[in-house]
């Protein structure tokens, strides 16, 4: 049984048919990457998993339990954390307050403190800015905060939507080093990323989406060597 499974999922925005029968799996301990052009359905897939959108057809299951109609805050409690595109931090709250909100369902103060310390271990810069308002952080620091906040719930699956967007090459390398390190520590990751080459460098498997459908599913290595993927997404002629 897969940790996460989507089976023939159809998701709509009003009358717009955004996902047309998506089926995919994520196994415990994997990094799985979704790649595709803008509008392909990558972010919609994550929103469907996290309960922001509900499929009209098909199912989303976590550990074999159907969560297709479950509310987003309950899905977080069940172990899926979604770090959205654009980071979604609270700009008027401090770094510390943003992290505390990430642990909204944790009642043990020591557990909250330990998880915060772990985030600071991953991102020492956040500790230096613990009392700084989120909106005054740089783009890279905000992305660090978004990921650290996501980890405050100790999720079974961490879903990252465009974590490198708008970052300098040095920070992109840092973020992907952190993704790799988190996975080595046992965190299962579902990754949406425009930088397909970087995404496939840390992933075990990947899915290629086009206009709401999965057109290729393979190991990350095979996708990197696939001629059509190279031309369309990796900038290799």
pLDDT in tens, 161-172: 999 888 888 988
Confidence of residue 233 (pLDDT cuts 50, 70, 90): confident
Tokens in use for 168?
């300098």
The DSSP symbol for 133 reads: B
Q: Return the biggest CA–CA distance within the chain.
A: 54
Confidence of residue 19 (pLDDT cuts 50, 70, 90): very high
Is the domain 1-79+188-237 a CATH 3.30.70.2190 member? no
pLDDT in tens, 38-91: 899 999 999 999 999 999 999 999 999 999 999 999 999 999 999 988 778 999
Q: Are 42 and 67 in contact (CB under 8 A)?
A: no
Phi, psi of 19 (to 5 degrees): -115, 125
pLDDT in tens, 96-144: 999 999 998 888 999 999 999 999 999 999 999 999 999 999 988 999 9
Q: Are 89 and 149 in contact (CB under 8 A)?
A: yes
Confidence of residue 214 (pLDDT cuts 50, 70, 90): very high
Q: In what order do the strands lie in the sheet with 205-210?
A: 80-83, 157-161, 188-192, 31-35, 205-210, 213-219
Specify the pLDDT at position 237. Answer: 63
Query: Does residue 236 surpass a pLDDT of 80?
Result: no
d(CA 197, CA 187): 21
Structure-token match 């709250």, residue found:
93
> Residues of the chain with pLDDT > 70: what percent?
100
d(CA 227, CA 237): 9
What is the per-residue DSSP string for 54-67? --SEEEEEETTEE-
Tokens in use for 197?
């080459």
Query: Does residue 7 surpass a pLDDT of 80?
Result: yes
Which are the contacts of 153, defined by CB distance < 8 A and separation ≥ 6? 76, 77, 79, 81, 102, 103, 105, 106
Q: Are 164 and 170 in contact (CB under 8 A)?
A: no
The DSSP symbol for 94 reads: B
Choose among 56, 42, 47: nearest CA to 12: 56
Query: Does residue 179 surpass a pLDDT of 90?
Result: yes
Average pLDDT over residues 138-165: 92
Query: Does residue 152 surpass a pLDDT of 70?
Result: yes
**Mean pLDDT over the full length of the chain:** 94
Q: How far is CA 75 from the centre of its chain?
A: 14
Specify the pLDDT at position 47. Answer: 97
Average pLDDT over residues 173-189: 93
Question: For the chain, which residues make up each domain, given as ranges?
Answer: 1-79+188-237
Tokens in use for 109?
């103060």
One-letter-per-residue 3-state SS of 191-215 = EECCCHHHHHHHCCEEEEEECCEEE
Average pLDDT over residues 27-37: 96
């Amino acid at each position: 049984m897969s940790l996460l499974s989507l089976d023939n999922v159809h998701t709509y925005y009003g009358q717009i048919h955004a996902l047309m029968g998506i089926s995919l799996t994520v196994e415990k301990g994997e990094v799985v990457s979704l790649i595709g052009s803008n509008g392909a359905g990558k972010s919609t897939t994550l929103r469907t998993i996290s309960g922001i959108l509900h499929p009209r057809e098909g199912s989303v299951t976590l550990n074999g339990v159907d969560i297709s109609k479950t509310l987003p805050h309950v899905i977080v409690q069940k172990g899926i954390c979604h770090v959205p595109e654009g980071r979604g931090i609270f700009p008027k709250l401090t770094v510390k307050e943003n992290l505390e909100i990430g642990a909204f369902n944790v009642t043990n103060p020591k557990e909250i403190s330990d998880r915060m310390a772990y985030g600071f271990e991953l991102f020492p810069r956040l500790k230096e800015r613990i009392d700084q308002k989120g909106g005054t952080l740089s783009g890279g620091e905000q992305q660090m905060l978004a990921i650290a906040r996501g980890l405050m719930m100790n999720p079974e699956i961490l879903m990252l939507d465009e974590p490198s967007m708008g970052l300098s090459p040095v920070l992109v390398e840092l973020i992907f080093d952190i993704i790799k390190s988190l996975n080595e520590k046992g965190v299962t990751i579902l990754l949406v990323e425009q930088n397909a080459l970087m995404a496939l460098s840390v992933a075990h498997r990947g899915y290629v989406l086009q206009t709401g459908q999965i057109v290729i599913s393979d190991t990350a290595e095979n996708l990197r060597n696939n001629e059509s993927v190279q031309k369309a997404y990796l900038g290799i002629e």
